Structure 1
Amino acid sequence: MDGHLSAEEIEKFHKDGYLLIEDFLTHAECDVLKDSCHRVIQDADFSQHPKVTFDTTDNKQATDDYFITSGDKVRFFFEESVFNADGQLNCPKEKSLNKIGHALHDLVPEFKKVTFSDKMKNLAKSLELKKPAVVQSMYIFKQPNIGGTVVPHKDSSFLYTEPMKLYGVWIALEDACADNGCLWFVPGSHHEGPTLRLVRKEKDEGVTTVLEGQPPGNKPEEYIITPVKKGGLVLIHGDVVHKSEQNHSDRSRNIYTFHLFDSGISKWSPLNWLQPTDPFTLLY
């Protein structure tokens, strides 16, 4: 797989708003990323990081300075249920995390290598992106039995560009199935913009965010389940509605994901929670 999309794949992506590409990474490449993530966790001193949990059903983590200033750092976000009453972890730290973000693509060599690989560049060139800039990256764990629900949303609600030229790259480092929280999409929902925006607000005491508008109201029968085998990649249009359910299995669902936008023809919104301290790194 060299990353180039066929005419049929490009047509399907534009029609549905998402595209599954099987075997984009080899199993060995996936394992390198998993091992690298494990090293990052083991090297981290969690006592130097606040206990910020991540839950997509509310907005509280996005009002926290630790989150808002994470765009050029590697930071750790926990599951809700992993702390005792005294604030100590009730499980091993590698089993406690919801995700790591948001600059793995710049700061961790193994993730940088995959993000800026020739095959990733070919993927962007297939979409005729003029000046793609990588804006954030995340390692998402979907821990066994406790990995939380990701509510229906459009990525453009949180990372808005004008015009909308935002793309998500979602890579399964383990099999993603119905029982461990794979993705679900509403095909064609990318033809309308977001009805909900997470908006950055400047306040005397610092920066915060507020949610404005209403979340997507699609009916359950509109969603299409999208299982992905290890090494598969899902290309996601910024305006397509998608979600994932809680992990009810005893298997994790580790993935690596990042977002890019075409900075050659689109503008990054100054209202986005994420604002660069330096220019975003260009894919090419």
Structure 2
Amino acid sequence: MMNVLSAQDKQRWRQDGYLVLPGFFEQAATEEMLGRARQLLDEFDVEGHPLTTFKTEADGEHVGDDYFIGSNDKIRYFLEPSSLSKPAPGAPSKLLVPPAQSINKIGHALAQLDPVFRKYTLENEKVANVAKDLGYHQSPRVLQSMIICKQPRIGGVVPSHNDSTFLYTDPPSAVGCWIALEECTPQNGCLSFLPGSHKTARVSSRFVKDPSGRGTTFESVAGVEPNEEKWDELDGWVEAACPAGTLVLIHGNVMHRSPPNPSDKSRLIYTFHMIEGAEGYTYDEKNWLQPTKDMPFPALF
């Protein structure tokens, strides 16, 4: 095994709850992923699409139709809400931008089904070695692989949140691997983090399938008191601007967010998550994203 992370990297990860690794992917690899992402965008066919949008409210209305729930073992397209018209009651929505520029994200099984993203996720020795170096999982399982677009001028805000709320295990174990396919700046919607918040942010709610069958909802986690902090009002947020080819590791409890993209430049990224697959960690049937018999969550190593 080749070590990828230095002792200083590991200390920064433990201290801050995230780690920015510029140059993790060489230019050729980054361009291959970016080219494939743009190809998928160009292949989007709006004909017959349910026009499912992806809403990012951390505790409010959220996407949850069958098209979303059924994306666990497929590659599907989710639209930016502001890419659609707001028609009169009973009238259909229409795209306000070209189809390729309307997409918020593509997911959620790219790592399993797309040969390019599989190459840089499940078949990538350097990715496996950085996860081993991190030492956070005994048996990491990969899930929720997706392209997130932040389209020019219409890319929406992502409010402060932590990922374990959306990919809940008992106890929490999520880690995000976030890869910049283009330069990410404050102007086009780079990530911001509240360093150290993974040590105090409690996972007190979880994103689940609505028991009524109507999509998704948030459910309180028994025995966990919600934090009283209003995260957005706290001082200390740090912008994580980064060049293309950067890998950002994100602890499942750390609070992070991103602003809208009013610029003329897109901010395409590829991301996937890991959860602990070892004994003693439960990922249950309440979670919105489910493995299937034919496509279980694959092991990274």
Q: Above 0.5 in TM-score?
A: yes
2:261 to 242, 247, 251: 247
8 A Cα contact 1:3 1:24, kept in partner? no
**1:127-165 deviation line (CA, Å, top 9, x unaligned):** 223211101111011011111000000101111112222
More off after superposition, 132-141 vs 194-203: 194-203
Corresponding residue to 1:88 among 87, 94, 115: 94
Contact 1:61 1:67 in 2 (8 A): no
- Partner of residue 107 from structure 1, selected from 105, 113, 120: 113
1:52 equivalent in alignment to 2:52: yes
Q: Does 1:153 align with 2:161?
A: yes
CA pair 44-250 structure 1, distance change in 2 beyond 3 A: closer
Contact 1:62 1:68 in 2 (8 A): no
Q: Between 85-94 and 19-28, report the one with greater CA deviation.
A: 85-94
- The Cα of 1:207 is off from its aligned counterpart by 5.5
Cα distance, 1:208–1:55 mapped onto 2, change above 3 Å: closer
SS of equivalent to 2:179:
strand
Query: 1:15-30 to 2 correspondence within 5 Å?
Result: 15-30=15-30
**AA aligned opposite 2:82:** S
CA RMSD of aligned residues (A): 1.9
1:217 to 230, 234, 247: 230
Answer yes or no: is the 8 Å Cα contact 1:52–1:61 preserved in 2: no
Q: 2: distance between equivalents of 1:201 and 1:144?
A: 33
Scaled by the length of structure 2, what TM-score is found? Answer: 0.87
Partner residue, 2:129: 122
Contact 1:138–1:258 (8 Å) recurs in 2? yes
Separation in structure 1 between the aligned mates of residue 44 and residue 194 of structure 2, nearest angstrom? 38
State the alpha-carbon separation in 2 of the partners of residues 73 and 283 from structure 1: 19
Mapped to 2, the partners of 1:220 and 1:180 lie a distance apart of 23
Distance 2:171 2:292 in 1: 22
| Unaligned residue ranges in structure 2 (runs of 5+) | 221-225
Indicate the structure with greater strand content.
Answer: 1
Does residue 1:187 correspond to 2:195, yes or no? yes
What amino acid sits opposite 1:157 in the alignment? T
Identity of aligned residues (%): 42
SS of the residue 1:156 aligns to: helix
CA drift at 1:235: 0.1
